[in-house]
Each structure stands twice: as C-alpha cells, then as structure tokens.
Chains A and B, each alone.
Chain A
C-alpha cells in the first residue's frame, strides 16, 4: 500500500498539480493499492470531487480516499502528524505533496513546491522552516520541478545527504 499525502494542499497552483496527479493515478493501467489523504473544503478537494473519474473510485478497493476535516490543515496539527504518525508500519512508501515530510517514513518522496520555505523571511515562515528542518531525514528523496528551486533549496538547507530528482513534468 502506498500513501499519497496531500492534506495541506489548498493553493491554486499546487491543487492543479496534485489533482492532475490523482486523476492520472485513477487512470493508471497498473494501479497499485493507494490511500490518498486530502482535507475537506479545500481547493484540492473541490478539484478532486469534480474529476470525472472520482465517482468510480470513491468506493474502490484499490484506492482509499480520505478527506480529513479542515482543521487538520493547520500547521501545528500538521506538524504533529508529520512528527509522530508512524506511517512506516502501514505503508510501503509515501509520496508527500504538502510542505512537511514525515519523520517516520522509510521510503518517502517529497514533492517540494513551497517556495516560501526558502525565500520568505517573515517570522511565521522562519518557524515553519525550522519545523521543516527538524523533519528532514535520510530516507527522503526530494522532487523539484526546476533547477533554480533545487539550487536554492540546497543552498538554504545545507543537507547534502538528501537525495533529489529534478525534471519538469506536464500539468
């Protein structure tokens, strides 16, 4: 079972990207068992509900869709989940689309698309940056869409041991 975690996704651009992924996963010819986690009343959930293939997969055995209440999107709760949720006991691998990685995942791909974590100097983002640093670990592979963000990430976070991949994909 693979976990697709998009609980914190609520922005316009990120919701477009993640809903395109979910749509492609629904249509994937060799579908693997998946659990997809989003939050209710988010831009992403609206997009997922409106996917043509959504009703077919709503009660599917292969795909489990979980919509958690909106308050789970709040950063402190979100951070606590990422720090303590022992996902490695339930899932072989995790693809994380929102800002923070899971601390306890054995195999995890983090889709990094939050430039505020690198560039924003506001206090709240400094705190989030600290939380992000605490959660980073050697089991993560980070995916970047563009080279400039990969460079900026590594020059800001100084974690050379973290593996990364970078290519632009169609949306």
Chain B
C-alpha cells in the first residue's frame, strides 16, 4: 500500500476537489494508493464516500510530522503559497514530494520533486505518479533535496530588530 500524505486546510486554493476526480480515484485504486488528508470532520462529511481517502483530521504539529514520517511521500496540490511549509518539512525528513510545477515549489525544491502540471492534472498527474512508483519500487532516489540557505530563528529575530533599529 502506498500512502500519500496531504497536510492542508480545506481551502479553495488547496484543490482538494482534485482528489475526487474520477480518473484520480481509478489511479489510486489501481495502484493501491491511500491519500491521507487533514481536514475537519464536518468538512470531510461533505465528500462523497471514497475508499482512497483517509482523513486524519486536524492534529498537533508533532502528530502531523509523525504521519509525514510514516508516509510514502508528500502530496501537495496547492495553487499558490507564500512558503509551503509541508514542502520544507518533507525535505527535512527526506521524503519524496509530489507537487505542482509552480514558482513556490520550484524555489524550495529545485529539480528534486515530482512535478505535475496543475492545469493538466488528469494527464500529468497520472504520468508523474507512474514515474514516482517506478522509482519507489526500484528504491531509486531522486536528486537529494537541496534547500536554499536557511537562517536560524534567533538570527532572524536579531535581523528583524536590526531593521527596526531597536
């Protein structure tokens, strides 16, 4: 069984409706893929019954990170982000990432993610999931994820105070 973890709130730009697409459902059933999502229970009740979806609800960050560790890969569907925190968390956990080919994901993950075209989801997602599964079954690693330089939080606070002159 393949577990793709998609930690995101139920917001329009997070594109949860893609998960209900018939082709996507068939793909998940064919490859035994379970998508783990993190939305509120009442929001999940609005979804039609779907065997490929498992809602773990909203949880503490530690629990979310535990799920991410146990998942086969991170799935991300958002149309836009200022950062995309789960992408960084997945990179730090050395998890493969399947995400749209957009500026926010490219800036963080470079060539090391499995990118699909959000505007051509049906076709490109199927293709990318097959690539991912081929790599996964042959234990092939994508390029190591090279994160941009990161400043620690104490230095960030100092920089903020310096900018403000306090």
- Chain A contacts to B: CB under 8 angstroms: 2, 11-13, 16-17, 20-21, 24-25, 28, 32, 92-93, 95, 107-109, 112-116, 118-120, 122, 141, 143-149, 152, 165, 167-171
Docked-complex contact B13 and A165, CB < 8 angstroms: no
B161 neighbours in A (Cβ, 8 Å): 2, 32, 93
A143 neighbours in B (Cβ, 8 Å): 160
Docked-complex contact A93 and B104, CB < 8 angstroms: no
Docked-complex contact B159 and A165, CB < 8 angstroms: yes
B140 touches A (CB below 8 Å): no
Q: Tell me the bound Cα distance from A30 to B115 in angstroms.
A: 44
* Selected A-B contacts with CB under 8 Å, 10 pairs: A20-B153, A28-B154, A92-B166, A115-B81, A119-B79, A148-B103, A165-B159, A168-B83, A170-B156, A171-B88
Q: Tell me the bound Cα distance from A123 to B41 in angstroms.
A: 28
Contact of A141 among B85, B88, B156, B163 (CB under 8 A): B163
Docked-complex contact A168 and B164, CB < 8 angstroms: no
Within 8 A of A (CB), among B59-112: 61, 79-83, 85, 88, 103-104, 106-108
B48 touches A (CB below 8 Å): no
Docked-complex contact A107 and B165, CB < 8 angstroms: yes
Docked-complex contact A95 and B150, CB < 8 angstroms: no
B84 to chain A, nearest CB (A): 8
Docked-complex contact A115 and B163, CB < 8 angstroms: no
Docked-complex contact B82 and A107, CB < 8 angstroms: no
Docked-complex contact B13 and A119, CB < 8 angstroms: yes
Q: Tell me the bound Cα distance from A167 to B157 in angstroms.
A: 12
A64 to chain B, nearest CB (A): 16
With both beta carbons as reference points, the residue of chain A lying nearest to B154 in the complex is identified as A24
Docked-complex contact B164 and A13, CB < 8 angstroms: no
Docked-complex contact A119 and B80, CB < 8 angstroms: yes
A113 neighbours in B (Cβ, 8 Å): 82-83
Docked-complex contact A170 and B151, CB < 8 angstroms: yes
Q: Tell me the bound Cα distance from A108 to B161 in angstroms.
A: 10
- Chain B contacts to A: CB under 8 angstroms: 7, 9, 12-13, 58, 61, 79-83, 85, 88, 103-104, 106-108, 147-157, 159-161, 163-166
A109 neighbours in B (Cβ, 8 Å): 160, 163-164
B159 neighbours in A (Cβ, 8 Å): 165, 167
Docked-complex contact B58 and A2, CB < 8 angstroms: no
Contact A149 B157, CB 8 Å, known A13-B85, A168-B149, A169-B150:
no
B51 to chain A, nearest CB (A): 26
B157 neighbours in A (Cβ, 8 Å): 21, 24-25, 28
Please give 6 more A-B residue pairs, beta carbons under 8 A apart, in addition to A92-B164, A109-B164: A17-B85, A32-B161, A167-B149, A167-B151, A169-B150, A169-B155
With both beta carbons as reference points, the residue of chain A lying nearest to B108 in the complex is identified as A146
B151 neighbours in A (Cβ, 8 Å): 167-170
With both beta carbons as reference points, the residue of chain A lying nearest to B83 in the complex is identified as A145
B164 neighbours in A (Cβ, 8 Å): 2, 92-93, 95, 107-109, 141
Instruction: Choose among B79, B104, B164 the residue with the greatest number of A CB atoms under 10 Å from its CB.
Output: B164
Contact of A170 among B80, B150, B165 (CB under 8 A): B150
